[in-house]
Structure 1
Amino acid sequence: MAQQAYITETDDDDSGPERRTTRIRRLYDRAVTGWRGDRRIWRRGLITAAVAVVLAVVMAAHSHIPNAIGNLGSLTETFLPWFGLLIPVLLVIALARKSATALIALVLPVSVWLNLFGGLLFDKTGSGGDLTVATHNVNADNADPAGTARAVAAAGADVMALEELKATAVPTYEKALEAKYPHHAVVGTVGLWSKYPLSDVTAVDIELGWKRAMRATVATPSGPVAVYVAHLPSVRVKLEAGFTARQRDKSANALGEAIADEKLDRKILLGDLNGTMNDRALTAITSQMRSPQGAVGDGFGFSWPAAFPMARIDQILVSGVEPTTSWTLPATGSDHLPIAARVRVDTEAQ
């Protein structure tokens, strides 16, 4: 008679969902009990807790960090979003040290960072708008100016600004864009291409001694708009001087004054400002204009350097028009990424 083998389920079988849940609960209870039973959890990780508090203070009070030494305040504000990367590092250390003090202290920098940048984690892209604008620092040493021009034009912008135009490359840009943009003007190293007529084209003095800013009236179907194009001076990080930006700051103030004196209510600024919206040095501009990226953008919209974007120093700022969406365009032959935005000029049609 053949023997039959019977396999019965025993208590040691942990393949079922109930057994797995029990094991997970048991491991959790052990961890919690271990922490509760260790009175040192409040004394450990004090240095980690102190670093977390300092991090929170730096982010919350960044505007009070002085610029007297190497423009440290502006340097901090330029890369302020990246300070959040220290939070998960501190979290790992706090967990490894089993420090309740450090974990509680981490609530501070998390709260501050979310208050400053939490809104950028969500896609706030809207719809509508009647004017699309774009701006791009094309890089004077760009090896493919025609390809760069076509790539930016492919975004469908009605008005497009280009900065860092080399005089010898201007004819190449003009030829590549003439089919889509019948109207254009170049002033010094900046230019404006438009599907709509331009008038009152003038250079804007930003106290450099050469022309890197301009202003024009664009006759859009929804009414005239004053469009400014600017390329503020570059900033440098030097070992002996820190973050040097004196000329950039001086030019930003001059540009802010010119925009404040603008007679038209509807204004758009396009360009490479070599500074972020957090940088106090741009207050003369940012105090009277706002960025679509913060209001209707998707993510941080970093634009520089193109290979690994770390900061948004290329800006589209508006006043008197309503932004509906903002985005970053794919890389070109430049070391900057182009950016674009759509705005509603006819605000009464909302």
Structure 2
Amino acid sequence: MIDVTTTPTSRRRSSARAGRVIAGVGVVILVLVVCVWVPGIVGTAAAAVLPWWGLALAILVALALVLARRVTLVLLAPILVWALAMLPSAPGLAAGAPAQSTPLEIVSQNVRAHSGGAAASAAELADMSADVIALTELDGDSLEAARETLAAAYPHSYAIGTVAVWSRYPIADAQALTLGLDWKRALRVVVNAPDGDLAVYVMHAASVRPGVQQERDTMLSGIADAVASDSAESIVVVGDFNAASADPALSAVRSRLDWVRPTDGTLGLTWPAALPLARIDHVFVRGLTVLESTTARVGNSDHLATVTTLAR
């Protein structure tokens, strides 16, 4: 008897069916990737999962090569569009320190309110010999615990609302910022660093939930306006932006500052700490050279810390 399931005709039909399925999934991914350019909740959601569509496309390509090679050409469109969408969030290269400059390391972490881990995070960040430490999502107890931990090594500090900053160097011109809201979730200080004054912004953007993101978008627009009108020569903005790297809500900030790319060869994903899926904790600069940028697991927060070394 002839096994009809293995005839050339049967194999061609099977390959055609597999090709249609693979091509269909590729088109769906293409549409989902394009959504990253749509303002509002659609773009926010698309940006959060954008890196992982690349993994899905890699799997599709592997399946196409095995089951239906001709469909590989169809997948070029979603691959190219995905690469274009990911380009602004791609890793960067470390720069060499300018001659006679003094590197300054700034670390930032969302320490998760009511977790009881602020002291541990503060101690571990201080052990990195950071010059400036910024913490967000602080409650009253965690702020006090961090203050006690950092008081000796970081005598200069400023706190407001859920954000705070500590520095080895003197702090001047401390300001609380509302960024368009009715309460304070951001601050600006001037750090008298060895190579000159540095304006440091720390922000804790409002949370995003389905159908509720206007407050976050207002804050992101507000920080963009604040730095646009800031006359400081050197600026760094750190904190929890509650927005993935490709989120269209970050476009205004990106247009006014340089987004600091991870220099460790990764995408610098920061949340959730147990299995980072998105980078929602960011660093932006102006008038500064990025010597190194990476992330670190400290304390028991659900966010990784950002660790950035800068020079003028």
Q: TM-score, normalization: structure 1?
A: 0.78
One-letter amino acid of the counterpart of residue 174, structure 1: R
Correspondence 1:209-288 to 2 at 5 A? 209-237=182-210, 241=211, 244-288=212-256
Counterparts of 1:301 and 1:181, CA distance in 2: 27
1:317 equivalenced with 2:284 (yes/no): yes
Paired position in structure 2 for 1:293: 261
Counterparts of 2:115 and 2:12, CA distance in 1: 63
Question: Any gaps of 5 or more consecutive residues in structure 1?
Answer: 1-33, 346-350
Of residues 66, 72, 76, the one that matches 2:46 is 76
Identity %: 33
Paired position in structure 2 for 1:99: 68
Q: Deviations over 1:151-182 (max 9, x none)?
A: 12122211111111112332221111122212
One-letter amino acid of the counterpart of residue 122, structure 2: A
Counterparts of 2:255 and 2:89, CA distance in 1: 20
State the Cα distance separating 1:340 from its structure 2 match: 0.8
Counterparts of 2:188 and 2:73, CA distance in 1: 52
C-alpha contact 2:36 2:85 (8 A) present in aligned 1: no
Counterparts of 1:65 and 1:115, CA distance in 2: 15
Greater Cα radius of gyration, structure 1 or 2 = 1
Correspondence 1:122-133 to 2 at 5 A? 124-128=93-97, 130-133=103-106
State the Cα distance separating 1:115 from its structure 2 match: 4.5
1:51 equivalenced with 2:25 (yes/no): yes
One-letter amino acid of the counterpart of residue 336, structure 1: H
Counterparts of 1:65 and 1:123, CA distance in 2: 25
C-alpha contact 1:163 1:189 (8 A) present in aligned 2: yes
CA pair 63-118 structure 1, distance change in 2 beyond 3 A: closer
Q: Deviations over 1:107-127 (max 9, x none)?
A: 333334444447978773445
Counterparts of 2:87 and 2:143, CA distance in 1: 41
Q: Give the secondary structure class of the aligned counterpart of 2:197.
A: strand
Larger CA deviation: 281-290 vs 211-220: 281-290
Paired position in structure 1 for 2:300: 333
Counterparts of 2:90 and 2:235, CA distance in 1: 28
Of residues 167, 173, 177, the one that matches 1:194 is 167
One-letter amino acid of the counterpart of residue 105, structure 1: V
C-alpha contact 1:48 1:94 (8 A) present in aligned 2: yes
The alignment yields a C-alpha RMSD, in angstroms, of 2.6
CA pair 319-121 structure 1, distance change in 2 beyond 3 A: closer
Question: Any gaps of 5 or more consecutive residues in structure 2?
Answer: 1-6
CA pair 271-123 structure 1, distance change in 2 beyond 3 A: closer
State the Cα distance separating 1:292 from its structure 2 match: 1.9
Correspondence 1:31-180 to 2 at 5 A? 43-44=16-17, 45-59=19-33, 61-65=34-38, 67=40, 71-95=41-65, 98-117=67-86, 124-128=93-97, 130-180=103-153
- Say how many residue pairs are matched: 301
State the Cα distance separating 1:90 from its structure 2 match: 1.9
Counterparts of 2:261 and 2:246, CA distance in 1: 13
1:207 equivalenced with 2:180 (yes/no): yes
C-alpha contact 1:120 1:298 (8 A) present in aligned 2: no
Q: Deviations over 1:178-218 (max 9, x none)?
A: 22212111112211100111000011122332211000111
C-alpha contact 1:204 1:255 (8 A) present in aligned 2: no
Q: Give the secondary structure class of the aligned counterpart of 1:335.
A: coil
Counterparts of 1:95 and 1:134, CA distance in 2: 45
C-alpha contact 1:205 1:255 (8 A) present in aligned 2: no
Counterparts of 1:245 and 1:121, CA distance in 2: 25
| Greater RCO (CA < 8 Å, at least 6 residues apart) | 2
Counterparts of 1:136 and 1:191, CA distance in 2: 10
Paired position in structure 2 for 1:17: none
Counterparts of 1:248 and 1:122, CA distance in 2: 25
Counterparts of 2:305 and 2:37, CA distance in 1: 32
One-letter amino acid of the counterpart of residue 286, structure 2: S
One-letter amino acid of the counterpart of residue 284, structure 1: A
